[in-house]
Structure 1
Amino acid sequence: MKKFILGFILFVTLVSYAQTEIDSTSVAFKEDVVKAKPIDGIENFKLKFAESFSIPTERILEINRKQLSLIISFQVDENGKLNHIKVLNDKYKLTSEINQIFTTLPDWIPAKKNGINVKSFNSFPITINFRLPDYEKSENSLEKRTALETEYKAFYYEFNSHMIYPRDFWERYYYKKGAYETGENKTSNEFKYIIEFTINEEGNFENIKTFINEKPDEYLNKAVKRSLAKCTPWEPAIENGKKVKSNMRLPVTIKIKK
């Protein structure tokens, strides 16, 4: 199994506007406003964003589109830090991936109003073209896609067959009882969590993390590590003809019998 990397990103434009407050005593005064901008220039910022953008294969299958057009908004604070990242009209739930990318990007030069650093909101549209070479080059792309989906189903089956949940799992995570404060009283018959890991050049699992409601959980992660240690190694990702490390983020859903 492989993690396929974004094929192409096209940036169209960048919009930015500073937060300002009008002083009624000086309405006639023309304010000197300088827009926020990347420290290394907008072209380098675009390049770093493109280099950082990758998406797991299962998300590409889930989105089921060759191309996406998105608008990303964010704030640059007085210190040039990027925050409040959002994907507008996020139909495909990509805000989490975009947020992760922004944590790796360099600070900006903040906007200025009359020589003083101020917060500013910025947005830019992007067009993302997903590339799945094995699918697009083959006449039997549907057959290959079905085969890949079957591989993921096989992995989930193997993972679940090895996964042994802690004895106090239901009290700790599903119900709020006693000293445990991480659980919730549920009406749904499903419990969901996320596992993240790196597939190294040998196809083995590394850097395994488990998230519940986007918060890392080391207690459950111990059981996840034991399960993955028993799973079949993956086929590593290939880049420029060489085996490389790749990161995966997979959702896990378990059914609960009441």
Structure 2
Amino acid sequence: MKKIVTFALCLGFGLAFSQVKETEILPAKDQSEEAVLSKDIKSAEYPGGLMALRKDIADKIRMRKIKGKGIITARAKFTVNIEGKIDGIIVTGDNADFNKETERALKSLKAQWKPAKSNGIIVRSYYTFPLNINFE
């Protein structure tokens, strides 16, 4: 009788604490992302072009907040959504102060982008933007 009770308890614990793999439901493809992959695409445009974007960012960066020597680089990655606004800003680089200041400058831009189009449909687009600063 003890063996049967012990076996029942072990089987009960085994079933109670066993892992069950649930099936995953994959989301359907977003058609706007699919459209980005097409060949007929017109990328998002900043008013005045990329040189104007570079100048606006440089005007907004507060140099006194950045500490460093030599050449400091950062890479800003962001998305221009279908409304022409910047989303999802990620700034990477060696200098944390410069990264924070670049992110703040990008967030403070007031100009609205002209969104990207693919096959005549407005889609979001992704940008990677390098920035350098030289302390002499």
Partner of 2:115: 110
Deviation at 1:130, TM superposition (A): 2.7
Report the aligned-residue RMSD.
2.1
Residue in 1 that maps onto 2:57: 49
Q: Deviations over 1:19-62 (max 9, x none)?
A: 7317xxxxxxx6421111102222211111111111335x41xx
Question: What is the letter of the counterpart of residue 33 of structure 1?
Answer: I
Q: Detail structure 1 runs of 4+ shifted over 6 Å in the superposition.
A: none
**For residues 69 and 92 of structure 1, what CA distance do their matches in structure 2 show?**
8
Normalization by structure 1: what TM-score?
0.36
Q: Number of aligned residue pairs: give it.
A: 101
SS at structure 1 position matched to 2:88: strand
State the shift of 1:76 in Å.
0.4
The answer to whether the 8 A contact 2:71-2:134 is kept is yes
Query: C-alpha offsets along residues 115-135 of structure 1, whole Å, 9 cap, x if unaligned?
Result: 11111110121211135xxxx
Question: Quick one: which of 90, 94, 100 aligns to 1:91?
Answer: 94
**Inter-partner Cα distance in structure 2 for 1:96 and 1:125:** 14
In 2: Cα distance, 1:44 partner to 1:51 partner? 10
CA shift at 1:78, angstroms? Answer: 0.4
> Which of the two has higher C-alpha Rg?
2
Whose helix proportion is higher, 1 or 2? 2
| 1:83 to partner: Cα distance | 1.7
Which residue does the alignment assign to 1:32?
Answer: 40
Unaligned runs of 5+ in 2: 1-31
Q: Structure 1 vs Structure 2: percent identity of aligned residues?
A: 27
1:101 matched to 2:88? The reply is: no
What is the rounded CA distance, in whole Å, between the counterparts of 1:130 and 1:108 in structure 2? 31
